Structure formats: structure tokens, C-alpha cells
Amino acid sequence: MSAERFEKKKTIDLRKKHIGPSCKIFFSHDPIKIVQAKGQYMYDEKGQRYLDCINNVAHVGHCHPDVVKAGAQQMELLNTNSRFLHDNLVLYAQRLQATLPDKLSVCYFVNSGSEANDLALRLAWQYTGNKDIITLDNAYHGHVSSLIDISPYKFHQSSDAEQNQYVHVAPSPDVYRGKYRGEHLDPATAYADEVKDMVQRVHKKGGKIAAFIAESLQSCGGQVIPPQGYFQQVAQHVREAGGIFIADEVQVGFGRVGTHFWAFQLQGEDFVPDIVTMGKPIGNGHPMSCVVTTKEVAEAFMSSGMEYFNTFGGNPVSCAIGMAVLDVIVKEDLQGNALRVGRYLTNLLEKQKEKHPLVGDIRGRGLFVGLELVKDRLKLTPATAEAQEVIYRLKEQYILLSADGPHRNVLKFKPPMCFTTEDADLVVDKIDHVLTGIGKVIFIIPEEGHFVAKPAVMQSTGTQKVHTNYIMFFKVTKHWGKTLNLAIVLHCHY
Amino acid sequence: MSAERFEKKKTIDLRKKHIGPSCKIFFSHDPIKIVQAKGQYMYDEKGQRYLDCINNVAHVGHCHPDVVKAGAQQMELLNTNSRFLHDNLVLYAQRLQATLPDKLSVCYFVNSGSEANDLALRLAWQYTGNKDIITLDNAYHGHVSSLIDISPYKFHQSSDAEQNQYVHVAPSPDVYRGKYRGEHLDPATAYADEVKDMVQRVHKKGGKIAAFIAESLQSCGGQVIPPQGYFQQVAQHVREAGGIFIADEVQVGFGRVGTHFWAFQLQGEDFVPDIVTMGKPIGNGHPMSCVVTTKEVAEAFMSSGMEYFNTFGGNPVSCAIGMAVLDVIVKEDLQGNALRVGRYLTNLLEKQKEKHPLVGDIRGRGLFVGLELVKDRLKLTPATAEAQEVIYRLKEQYILLSADGPHRNVLKFKPPMCFTTEDADLVVDKIDHVLTGIGKVIFIIPEEGHFVAKPAVMQSTGTQKVHTNYIMFFKVTKHWGKTLNLAIVLHCHY
């Protein structure tokens, strides 16, 4: 199979014609065509190499040969559903179980993080007999309808979304920008008490809590690290109300946090969720995922009398691939690498914070790191345009990074786990360069106000080149001839 | 990789420990361990060959080498998400589009039939601005929570399921057992008028129709073939009410019906759904699926402002596999084979109907065929136990068939599309043998009433051996010493 069949322009045209326009592409005004990838590198149609800092799905490295081999061999032999006995299914379940606390012993294999989180809700509803769900602000748990309902990150995007009456949004336990911050004496208790109060409000209205769901570390929500002890306290409040705790590890599981295999374990050994959902990295890109729960929850689900069948879930190929991923994590000590390289990266970024006022916060665990850009370190004014600028400039330097969070001002690092200290040096060096240049753009403007310009009329200093491919919208807030802090809104979607 | 790692008993024990008990296995009291498969054959751990009459997912034949090769080659090269340009994505979308009416031109790639149908609902809700969904009785559309709501096949299984207030269940257009039968002059209009009346009832209650959803041929619902013209009339009523028509092709698409590539096309060229969902056979077992809709629906979905991102959907590996499946269908004329072998099989089964009073109805299109067993051809009393008996006896003869429908009395044929006339001869011969034996079991019983017995106390004639591994529950309705028509309920789940 040739790596490229069409000229890039033809690919773009066909995509516009045949792919749903809600499916956004990176760098929409000059998208990247990737034809090959290996380890932490991706290659475009001209052979240009990109350093990948964002694809946490390619967990053990793009196209890892052990994973490819396991998948290809099993595809040749058998790929069928779980209504037949197969050793891969039970062996893989046993191996996943071995990474978890003992009481999390029962697996349901499904095809995506969305299927996993939806099933987690079904398990919670059936086990508790209750309906109400508490979710966190800015949370994203998946794209099926039940999960849009519990994903403020999504339903806030829609102009006409109604909030589901059974869904209640607690504050995100963000100690940088949230309701209780770093200077608070006990943010874990303060945030957990918000959930406690919410439970009481729900009860007063006649509701009953089925579950609290949270990513163990919030990803799209802005790389948020909840304070230690928060989950324990939330779990206590929620369980006292008859509900259960669902830890969503779809983005952050499988050793990424370095010190532990699962991110919920960062909270301490005394914390065990009732349900853990897994996804993205589990199959290094193969469509698969898993829900793990307790015997009690599983038995309650069965007692409804309703069978659960998932056509592709737990097929022998998916399980073979899943086991190969676990093997590579151990064999290449990728969890250890995440810890070491993650610390190295975080240290480098901390130095950027000392150097650039725009860098408001560095936070992370292992190879899950966020860098939050702010215009003012006291007011925490989000530097959204600057974050977009960094992403675009890095792309021009063949580095893939993304910005996320409610204000899209948090640079997200979640690279393949084979990321090296050299890769960290490279990306931080480039970020340094871009941050040095930002805010020094000299621009000839007719008057204060909104202004649309082709890049040709713009000059830049401090960066290697100006953008050439997209129209920019500037909001100019200072006067003629002065050095400007431009609010640049690129007309593109992330 | 060795095909078997554990003794069968160990596999069973591990499965009981680690796999959700709601995930049922075929022949639960003596399940089959399958370690390999090729074409229309599956092989157990002892090398015993089974003829597979049920796995419509292995559409072009288990482990087809062209499909395996396409998947393995692309896995080596690149497997990433659709935020990057890739030719496989657009080429595959273009090829799928070419099989459909022109106006169905926009694709969303997802990972399972469930994800596809959930997205179809989201598209319908957004496009119409309405909430109410009309579904058919006995329908099954998937396992995520929004689809359990529209799947009477599932929610009737649960003791405590509440019907969602926005979901309305119209009669299944089953001309054999349904409300309007074969002798009716115009069942298409009669069933469509039921939908029309339902629309009016919904409107009276203040509801508004978002969509009508139906499998193009109902599968789990009992291999139901809707009368021609039904979909056109339903679409008219639903569109007049502001709703759209979703054709679920997850079970029946990709040439299975023989005369057409899509089962909705059986209704005539004047029928075009607004959304088509695909699944199971699309990737020959690889977890993938697709929603195809019109430009208008896609644009309305985008206008909400909410992005749609599916991590694994439309990845280069899935698309490569999808294209290989389309290639094999053409190269091996599998649609033509489905037509020819399907007709041959249906003719053979018609002869069984002449021979065995238990056979109430034979219906099907191509290699999608149902054989409905009844105890009485006038009353249509479902021969549920007899259907289970046939399935179990065939399994002992190494033939995999299943029984489904609301009364679990419809034998379902949906084999890999490489099924041959010889395979048809074999399975029908075995069915003939089993049907000849059924109802001739001699049994010594103490008295009329319910009775639980170990098979050891049972003798059989007309079949090769008695069951030895499971407890049976008999409801005895005749007296001591007589030849009985036993209602056998096996204590197992399908």
C-alpha cells in the first residue's frame, strides 16, 4: 500500500465533501497530512518528521512492532465475539486485574472510552437504583449522548444545550484557577465539601445520587491535578448518599503518571473507586477499552435480567493487542521513563516560568503535564491567543502540541511514553523561543478596534517567520506605532 | 502464539471470576472454546470443525487473508486519529458513498453499531430540534443507554425498566405473527398507518418527532421482512411531522440481502433514508462502524457549535480494513453468492416446511433467513423449547445456529457470505433429522405439573444422544406413559 494516494489538496477536498464537518482537524487552515509514524515521531507526505507531544493513544510509541505483531498474528488466527470461550479474554482480564486493587476484579470489554463510561453509568444506575450523577466542571467523558450530558466541556460548546435534570456539576478541584487555590489551607476538604453540599441539595429536591464521576486527573478540563485526599472524601460523601465513585482513567491510565500505574492511585492507597474506566492508550490505537468493577456491582447489573453483549468487545485480537501493550510497558520500563522524563520536562518548564511572565503555572505527574499561560499572574487572565500562537509556531517547527482547558490556554503534554529527555529539551527550547517572541510583533494599524488582516501586512520580530496561510483577526487595544500585546484569534478550530 | 494457553475448565473458571456475568456465552452449560477460524468454519481447541451459520460479523469469511493483510500492513505504517489528513479516510468515505444514493454523502466514522446509532439519534435531535423517537416493537439498536431506551428487545428483559417518555413503540411490520398478516390486503399501509396514528398521539401530548428508527430487516426481533412500500409511507408520515428516517443496517448491510447492497433498497428505488448506520460486517470483525447522512443533517449538526471527535473512529487501519472488505465483496462476488446460496437455502427450508408441522414460516432475503417454529400453524403458538432443542442438537453435530425473536423461536441464518450450497445441504439435513426426532421423547414422569430432572432419567429416540450436562425444567401437560410434546426450558441463556 502506498503511503499517499492523493495530492494533499485532493485529500482536503474529499474530506470536505465526505466527512462530517463537526469532525475538526488540527490546524484547519493548513492541516498536516501524516502518512507514517514510529515511536514519538510522525511523518508527513514529504517525509518531514514531527515530534509528537500529544498522542497519548500511541502509548508505547506509534506502531510499536510488538503490538503490531501481536495484532497481526491474532487476526490471522481468529477474531470473533466473546460468546465463545477464548484464553486471550480471560488472560487479559486477569492481567488487567493484577494492576488494580483486589476488589476491582470484574471486567467488561468494550470498544471506546465512550462505551466504557456509558456502561459505567448503566452499572451505577442499576447497582444503586438511583439516577443522579455528579460530574465536575469542564469534564469531558465521551461523545455518546449520555456522556455529553455529563460533560460540561461539551455541553457548554452548544448554543442550545439543556442541562439534564439528573446531572449536577461540582467545581473542578483546580488549585490554580478554581474556587479554592494554592493558598487555601485544605483545598481537598473544601472541594469535597462542595460535593457534600451538592448531595444535600440533590436530596432536598428529591433526587438520589447514583454516582460521582471524574477523570483521575482532568485532561481536556486543563490538566488539573486534584489535591490529595479529595477523592477519599468525595467517595465517602457519595457512598453515604448511596452512590458510587467512577474513576475515568481513559486519558491518564497505564503508567502515564510515573509513580503509579493508575492515576487514581496518586490519591493514596486508602482510595479505591467502585468502577474504573479505561480507554485510549489501552490498545495503542486499536479500538478497545474496558470497564472494571467490583463483584457486587457486576452482580447487581446481572440481577436486572438484561444481558450485556458487545459485538467487538473483548475479541481475541483486541485482547492480544492489549496484552502486548502491557508487556511493552514492563519490558521498556515506560512507567519509569514517564516518571524520569516527566520530572525532567517539568523542571525545564519551571525554568520557563521563571523567565516568561506569560507562564502562570506548571503542573503535572509523569508524562501528563500542563503549562498554563496567563496575561497576569495575579488576575490569572487567560492568555488564550498566546497559547494558540505557541501551538501554531511549534507546528511550523514540526512539533505537535495542543492547548486545552476551559479557556484553551493550557498547553498539554501527553506524548507517547517513549518520549526522551532530548525530546523534552527540544520542545522546551522551541517554547522558550516562541514565548520570547510573543508580544513583540510590530504592526501598522489604521485605528484602535477590530481589524482583519492578511498576514502579508504584518511584520514580526523574535520569531523566525510570520504566518502565511491564514487570515487573522486582531483586536487592537493600543495606539498607532506602539509595541503591542496583540490578542490574536486565529480563525481555526482545535 | 499458541492457540490455547489454558485447559478449558481453567478458561471457564477465569471467565466466571473476571468477566461480567451479564456477558453471556453460547451454550453456557457446555460452552465452545474456539481457537481458530477460516471462511465459514470455526475450530475448537481439539481441532473439531464447526459450520458457522450465525457470524454475520465475519462477513467475507473468518480471517480473510486480504483483510488481515490490509490491517497488518497499515498497522505497521500508521494508526492515528482523524485530526490529521489521511487518504484512507477520504477514499473509504468516497467508496462507501458510491454504494449509496447520492444524497447520502457525509460520513462519520465510529467504532461500533452502538456508537453509530447513538450518533444517529444525536444528529436527528439536532437537525429537527425535536426529542421524540419512534422505534419498532422487538427492536434492538445497541447497548449504550440511549439505545437501550429505544430497544424493546432489551428493555423488556429488565424487571424494572421504565420506558423513556420520549420513546414510542410502533408494531413490528411482521406479516407472519404481527398485527397485520399475510392475508391482509395492504399490510404496508396498515403498519405505516400505525406510525401515522402514533405521530398524531405524540403531537396531542405536546411531543415532536425527531426520528423513526428501524433496522432495514429486523434481526434480533425475529428476522422480520417489512412489506414493500412500508418505509416510504413511514418516511412520509415522519417527515411531515418534522422528523427523519434512520435505517439501521448494522446487521443486514453490505450485500447480505443478495439483490442489493443495502437492505433498505429492497423497499424500492424511491426510498432514501435520511441516515444510514452501519456496523458488524463493515470491518469483518475489526471494531469499526459508520453513520452516513445528508449534507443538510451534517450542517445542522455542526451549527450547534459542538465539535464531534471520536478517538479511534476513521483511523487509517480501520479504513484500510474497511476497503479490503469492500474489495473482497466485489472480487469474490459475495453479494451474488448471497443471492444464489440464499435462494437455495430458502428452497431447502421450504421443503422442511412441507415435511414438518413445527415449521411455521420461512422468510428471508439472500443470506439473511429465518425459520419460525410453531406448535400450531393456526394459533402460531411459539415452539420456543423446540427451537432451543434444535440449536443444542445442531451444536452436538458441530453446526452453529441460533434462535431469536421475541419468543426465541426463530432460527436465524446469517452466515459468513462465503457460505455454500453444500453448507446449506448439510445444515438443512441436520435440521430435518432433529425435527424428525423432536416430540418423540419418551419420558417416565410421576405426575402432571412442573418437574425438574437430571437428564439421566430421560430416554430419547430419534436423536443420537441425550443431553448430559444440564438440568432441564419440564412442564408436563399430558399423562403418565404417553408420548409427549415436551416444553423443554433449558436452564441457560443465549
Q: CA of B335, closest CA in chain A: separation in Å?
A: 22
What's the mean pLDDT when you consider all of chain A?
Answer: 90
A128/B contact by beta carbon, under 8 A: no
Q: Which amino acid is at B237?
A: H
How many Å apart are CA B31 and CA A89, to the nearest integer?
Answer: 15
* B residues 169-188 closer than 8 Å to A (CB): none
- Report the top-level CATH class of B65-331: alpha beta
Packed helices A421-437 and A334-355: angle between N→C axes, nearest 10 degrees? 20
Of the partner residues B85, B161, B313, the one whose CB lies closest to the CB of residue A11: B85
Position B160 scores a pLDDT of 66
Instruction: Tell me the CATH architecture of domain A8-60+333-437.
Output: Alpha-Beta Complex (3.90)
Going by pLDDT thresholds of 50, 70 and 90, the confidence category of residue A324 is very high
pLDDT over 70 (residue A478):
no
A160/B contact by beta carbon, under 8 A: yes
Interchain CB distance below 8 Å, B119 and A35:
no
A33/B contact by beta carbon, under 8 A: yes
Name the residue among A206, A197, A209, A203 with its Cα closest to residue A121.
A209
pLDDT over 60 (residue A314):
yes
Which positions in chain A touch B113 (Cβ < 8 Å)? Answer: 311
Least confident of A464-468, B207-211, B379-383, B412-416: A464-468
**Nearest C-alpha in B relative to A8:** B85
Q: Which amino acid is at A298?
A: A
Query: Mean per-residue pLDDT for A398-405?
Result: 97
Q: Are strands B449-453 and A487-490 parallel, antiparallel or unpaired?
A: unpaired
B258, B264 Cβ separation under 8 angstroms: no
Which positions in chain A touch B287 (Cβ < 8 Å)? Answer: 111, 286-288, 312-313, 315, 318
Write out pLDDT tens, residues A256-281: 999 999 999 999 999 999 999 999 99
pLDDT over 90 (residue A156):
no
Position B443 scores a pLDDT of 39
Q: CA of A148, closest CA in chain B: separation in Å?
A: 10
Up-side HSE of residue B11: CA atoms within 13 Å toward CB? 22
Q: Give the count of Cβ contacts less than 8 A between chain A and B.
A: 379
B269-272 contacts at long range (C-beta below 8 A, 24 or more positions apart): B270/B232, B271/B231, B271/B232, B271/B235, B272/B101, B272/B103, B272/B104
A47/B contact by beta carbon, under 8 A: no
Q: CA of B136, closest CA in chain A: separation in Å?
A: 19
Up-side HSE of residue A243: CA atoms within 13 Å toward CB? 30
**Nearest C-alpha in B relative to A41:** B78
pLDDT over 80 (residue B446):
no
B128/A contact by beta carbon, under 8 A: no
How many Å apart are CA A107 and CA A300, to the nearest integer?
Answer: 14
DSSP secondary structure, A266-290, as one string? GG-TT---SEEEE-GGGGTTSS-EE
Position B441 scores a pLDDT of 42
Query: Mean per-residue pLDDT for B333-350?
Result: 98
Going by pLDDT thresholds of 50, 70 and 90, the confidence category of residue B163 is confident
Going by pLDDT thresholds of 50, 70 and 90, the confidence category of residue B157 is confident
Burial of A479 (0-12, 13-18, 19+ CB in 10 A): exposed
Interface test with A, best of B12, B36, B114, B133 (most A CBs within 10 A): B114
Going by pLDDT thresholds of 50, 70 and 90, the confidence category of residue B407 is very high
pLDDT over 60 (residue B68):
yes
Write out pLDDT tens, residues A18-64: 999 999 999 999 999 999 999 999 999 999 999 999 999 999 999 99
Position A161 scores a pLDDT of 67
Going by pLDDT thresholds of 50, 70 and 90, the confidence category of residue A457 is very low
Of the partner residues A18, A85, A288, the one whose CB lies closest to the CB of residue B33: A85
Which positions in chain B touch A297 (Cβ < 8 Å)? Answer: none
How many Å apart are CA A343 and CA A413, to the nearest integer?
Answer: 12
Query: Mean per-residue pLDDT for A317-334?
Result: 98
* Per-domain residue ranges of chain A: 8-60+333-437, 65-173+206-217+242-331
- Report the top-level CATH class of A65-173+206-217+242-331: alpha beta
B277, B116 Cβ separation under 8 angstroms: yes
Q: CA of B447, closest CA in chain A: separation in Å?
A: 31
How many Å apart are CA A360 and CA A357, to the nearest integer?
Answer: 7
Q: Which amino acid is at B161?
A: A
Which positions in chain B touch A287 (Cβ < 8 Å)? Answer: 111, 286-288, 312-313, 315, 318
B47/A contact by beta carbon, under 8 A: no
Interchain CB distance below 8 Å, A63 and B78:
yes
B308, A145 Cβ separation under 8 angstroms: no
CA distances from B203 to A33, A49, B193, B239 (A): 49, 58, 15, 14
Query: Mean per-residue pLDDT for B258-281?
Result: 98
Q: Which amino acid is at B365?
A: R
Position B218 scores a pLDDT of 97
Going by pLDDT thresholds of 50, 70 and 90, the confidence category of residue B329 is very high
Interchain CB distance below 8 Å, A145 and B159:
no
Measure the CA angle with vertex A428, ends A423 and A434; round to 5°.
Answer: 130
A240, A256 Cβ separation under 8 angstroms: no
Going by pLDDT thresholds of 50, 70 and 90, the confidence category of residue A97 is very high
Position B5 scores a pLDDT of 87
How many Å apart are CA A72 and CA B178, to the nearest integer?
Answer: 46
**Nearest C-alpha in B relative to A304:** B158
Q: Give every CB contact of residue B480 below 8 A, 6+ residues apart in sequence.
A: B445, B447
Please indicate whether residue A293 or residue B157 has the higher confidence score (pLDDT): A293
B312/A contact by beta carbon, under 8 A: yes
How many Å apart are CA A65 and CA A63, to the nearest integer?
Answer: 6
Where would I find the beta strands (DSSP E) of B137-224?
167-170, 209-215
Name the residue among B374, B367, B363, B361 with its Cα closest to residue B409.
B374
Where would I find the beta strands (DSSP E) of A21-97?
34-38, 41-44, 49-52
A402/B contact by beta carbon, under 8 A: no
Position B161 scores a pLDDT of 67
A311/B contact by beta carbon, under 8 A: yes
pLDDT over 60 (residue A486):
no
Q: CA of A57, closest CA in chain B: separation in Å?
A: 8
Least confident of A70-79, A294-303, B157-166: B157-166
Of the partner residues A12, A14, A79, the one whose CB lies closest to the CB of residue B285: A79
**Nearest C-alpha in B relative to A107:** B19
CATH 3.90.1330.10 fits B8-60+334-437, yes or no: no
Write out pLDDT tens, residues B425-437: 999 999 999 999 8
Which positions in chain A touch B85 (Cβ < 8 Å)? Answer: 8, 11-12, 15, 25, 31-34
B386, B371 Cβ separation under 8 angstroms: no
Interchain CB distance below 8 Å, B24 and A83:
yes
**Nearest C-alpha in A relative to B85:** A33
Position A445 scores a pLDDT of 37
Of the partner residues A31, A113, A159, the one whose CB lies closest to the CB of residue B304: A159
Write out pLDDT tens, residues B133-155: 999 999 999 999 999 999 999 88
* B residues 92-111 closer than 8 Å to A (CB): 93-94, 97, 105-108, 111
pLDDT over 80 (residue B159):
no
Interchain CB distance below 8 Å, A288 and B286:
no
Write out pLDDT tens, residues A374-393: 999 999 999 999 999 999 99
How many Å apart are CA B460 and CA A392, to the nearest integer?
Answer: 77
Least confident of A328-332, B29-33, B196-200, B444-448: B444-448
* B residues 52-71 closer than 8 Å to A (CB): 55, 57-58, 62-63, 65, 67-68, 70-71
